[in-house]
Amino acid sequence: MQNAASWFRGLFQYGSWMMETLADACTEHGLADDPRIVFLFQHTVNARRIWLERVRDGAVHTDIHETLTIAQALERDAVDTEAWGTLLLEGGEEGLDKEITYANLSGTVFTQLFRDLVFHVINHTTHHMDEVSVRIRASGATPPPTDHVVYTRSLVSRA
């Protein structure tokens, strides 16, 4: 049976797969320069990095508004997904129950369990990538399936 830290690590990998799959679809359908889609990718990866910085040492160095292309966003995501995975595996099950004190972008201080922050980051990614899917559909194209079950089937087919 898989422990929760490994499960969360896998969900970060799922988020990366989802972003890559949608980025490919955007390129295929001529949407790689759509301003809203580009914003969704950069916002998602900038937020993922900000949360990583918060849980590591609390010092945020990333600007939530930093401009990235989709390709740059995917490069950042690859690095950060690896870092999240390492953090989760090093902390193990006990690390998930660690309290993290951080300040939001407005400076308000909160303390929450690491597991809740991890889930928030994963959920945030899924939410914004769904917005990309909606944007692809609004353009008249069919977005690729990005459900978790499709992802897990792809893992089995690659094994």
pLDDT band at 18 (very low <50, low <70, confident <90, very high): very high
> Residues 137-154: what's their mean pLDDT?
95
- Compute the distance between CA of residue 86 and CA of residue 60 in angstroms, rounded to an integer: 19
pLDDT band at 159 (very low <50, low <70, confident <90, very high): low
- Compute the distance between CA of residue 36 and CA of residue 108 in angstroms, rounded to an integer: 28
Given its phi and psi angles, is residue 70 left (phi above 0), alpha (psi -120 to 50 degrees) or beta? alpha
- Compute the distance between CA of residue 33 and CA of residue 114 in angstroms, rounded to an integer: 35
> Residues 139-144: what's their mean pLDDT?
97
Report the pLDDT value the prediction gives residue 40, as an integer from 0 to 100: 98
Note the pLDDT tens digit of each residue in 113-133: 999 999 999 999 999 999 999
Residue ranges of the domains in the chain? 4-158
The H or E element that residue 103 is part of is strand 99-103
**Residues 6 or more apart in contact with residue 118 via CB below 8 angstroms:** 8, 84, 88, 96
pTM as predicted: 0.94
Domain spanning 4-158: which CATH class is it, in words?
Answer: mainly alpha
The DSSP secondary-structure symbol of 111 reads E
Task: Examine the pLDDT at 23 and tell me if it is beyond 90.
Answer: yes
Contact at 8 Å (CB) between 68 and 42? Answer: yes
Note the pLDDT tens digit of each residue in 71-100: 999 999 999 999 999 999 999 999 999 999
Note the pLDDT tens digit of each residue in 31-86: 999 999 999 999 999 999 999 999 998 889 999 999 999 999 999 999 999 999 99
